[in-house]
Amino acid sequence: MPHAKAPRKIRSEAVFRDRDMPIAVMRMDNHGDTSLHSHDFHELVLITGGAGRHITAHGSYPLKAGDVFLIRGSTRHGYAVAGRLRLINILFDPRQARLPLNELDLGTVPGYHALFEIEPRMRQAGRSGLRLRLNTAQREQAIAIIGEIEEELRARRPGACFMACGHLMRLIGFLSRCCDAQQEPSGTPELLGISRVLSFMAEHFAEPQTVAQLAQVAGMSESTFVRRFREVVGRSPIDYLARIRIARACEMLRRGDNPKMTAVADACGYKDANYFSRHFRRVMGCTPRAYRTLPTRHLAREADGGRGK
């Protein structure tokens, strides 16, 4: 009996022809049926018209104008088109050090975690999650930002990569706020609770946090919280918090001011610099001092704040 054909994988080299530009935009005005496939990059999808279904290895989801969702590179997916499906794909490679998508304070927005962490995981597992559907005004604003990305990609003026990455971050921030505003307690309260916890962790990562405290933020019992957190995020709450701290340490270590290790440890929630160094090595595979001297091309290996890229 012949073996089933393995889903194809689209490589970043076929999409990002210019290594200095880890972003691409594709507009499709008449998207057809596509079989299951995957990528080694991320794909942010905005449905602009028509109808169809998004298919994964574990289920399918109806698509309408205004739907926005992120497809992680490892997710096998395809489309079954019921009408003239129109969409815009924003492709980006999160491994590129030029894309500082985990920095600054975006992680304090619950909608960011809902749209860019929880929903993709739920979609990949074939489970119902938190969805975002933009209204007409929001859709027009998102399309306008995408147009600015496209203009930078087209013109390739000096500073194009910086500007394109900046517009992509604007788009992600805008969509995160839209998702935050759309959520209602009557929807999926447990998933909303997990989103609040992820936001709380990002905002207070340097402070002591207990499972009991985090469960209270989520509005759940401790046992339910720990079980649901692991199901949704893929890690325990304490492991996720630890990786946020190590990711922040990576950001500090690659800055040019060379802060002392004791200062880095303290700023990231570690009162013992030796314990910080041991934990950093366990997560990153090298000491903090060695990480500081790594070539730029290796920096994309840093901790992902629990997101599991």
* pLDDT tens readout for residues 94-120: 766 555 555 556 777 778 888 888 888
Q: Which amino acid is at 298?
A: H
Q: Which amino acid is residue 176, in one-letter code?
A: S
Mean pLDDT of the chain: 83
Check residue 115 and give its pLDDT. Answer: 83
Whether 49 has a pLDDT exceeding 60, the answer reads yes
Overall pTM surpassing 0.85 (yes/no): no
Domains of the chain (ranges; CATH) run 14-182 (2.60.120.280), 204-301 (1.10.10.60)
* Predicted local confidence at residue 27, as pLDDT: 94
> Do 181 and 133 form a contact (C-beta atoms < 8 A)?
no
Length, in residues, of the chain: 309
Tell me: pLDDT of 301 over 50.
no
For residues 293-297, average pLDDT: 64
CA atoms within 13 A on the CB side of 54: 23
Residue 124 has pLDDT above 90, yes or no: no
Match 């994964």 to its residue by tokens.
56
Any idea which of 58-62, 104-108, 251-255 has the lowest mean pLDDT? 104-108
For residues 82 and 80, what is the distance between their CA atoms, to the nearest angstrom? 7
pLDDT for position 224: 93
- pLDDT for residue 131: 77
pLDDT exceeds 90 at position 217: yes
CA 304, 305, 307, 309: dihedral to nearest 10 degrees? 0
**pLDDT tens column, 144-199:** 999 999 999 999 999 998 899 899 999 999 998 898 777 554 346 777 888 889 98
Residue 63 has, within 13 A of its CA and on its CB side, a CA count of 25
Q: Which tens digit of pLDDT belongs to each residue from 14-37?
A: 788 777 788 999 999 988 888 888
- CA 142: distance to chain centroid? 18
Residue with tokens 């990609």: 153
**Position 187: which residue type?**
G
